[in-house]
Amino acid sequence: MAQNLIARHLVDLDSPVSQAMRYASNGGKGLRAFLVLESARLHGIGSSRAGFAAAAIEALHAYSLVHDDLPCMDDDDMRRGQPTVHRRWDEATAVLAGDALQSLAFQFLVLCDCPAGAKLTLIGRFAAAAGIRGMVGGQEMDIAAERAAQPLTLDEITCLQAGKTGALIRWSAEAGAVMAGENHSPLGRYGEELGLAFQIWDDVLDVEGDAETVGKAVGKDDAAGKATFVSHLGLDGAKRRAAELVEAACDALSVYGNEAETLREAARFVISRRK
């Protein structure tokens, strides 16, 4: 649904930037959109009402990947099994496509079908999760770490990833409760634990995975001497920590009983995926 909404919004455009936007938003796991839709379902909000919020997070996530792949950032050639946007087009097109996807994300949130007060809260939390106190701040820490004299400590990596990866996952998990004007704390705890488990498993895949399956380059962190959860905890230790986080995420959903079983299954999937 989320990718379809993005494609429908761009259907009458055929410029290089609009083509790059469609290209960047195709594929992927769709985990963040799924979390939005499922958390909405838990609060009596159907997919037709939550669809724009799901599309918003996918557009924002796509923008972050386009910019993250640029030579001035992580300098990656492959994403989701295909050339990155700046390789498929050029750097200027990639920057503009990312900018436009970010703007589109906020436009979608304005179209969300929920009360005005809830919508303002949703948008405000979205901006915070995407900005300097969230994803952008985490990315800044990641870039700085590559230039630092000493590798990051485990606590520093945890803080970095809570922003770079975890903030948008937490927003996604909370979105349904926020739209309904209900307590979002249980889903927030779920999203926080899940976001960290997700990143730890990404570090595991960077060691164990292969580029064809994962859809992007692997082994880059080790080659660069970059501190990761695996470098601090060891491969088995990182897997154990991810499993503990998933268990904690599932426990946070106890208030929802069996109604949240699909979210629990999603958490377990995060540490069984191969890409």
99-146 tens-digit pLDDT: 999 999 999 999 999 999 999 999 999 999 999 999 999 999 999 998
Query: How is residue 258 annotated by DSSP?
Result: G
DSSP strand pairing (78-79 vs 82-83):
antiparallel
CA distance 178 to 187: 10
Q: What is the pLDDT of residues 259-269, one digit of tens each?
A: 999 999 999 99
CA distance 264 to 102: 29
Provide the pLDDT for residue 210: 73
**What rounded mean pLDDT belongs to the chain?**
94
Residue in 275, 186, 204 with CA at minimum distance from that of residue 243: 204
Provide the pLDDT for residue 3: 87
Compute the half-sphere exposure of residue 8: CA atoms within 13 Å on the CB side of its CA: 9
pTM for the whole structure: 0.94
Name which residue leads in pLDDT, 212 or 120.
Answer: 120
The arrangement of secondary structure in 2-270, i.e. its CATH architecture, is Orthogonal Bundle (1.10)
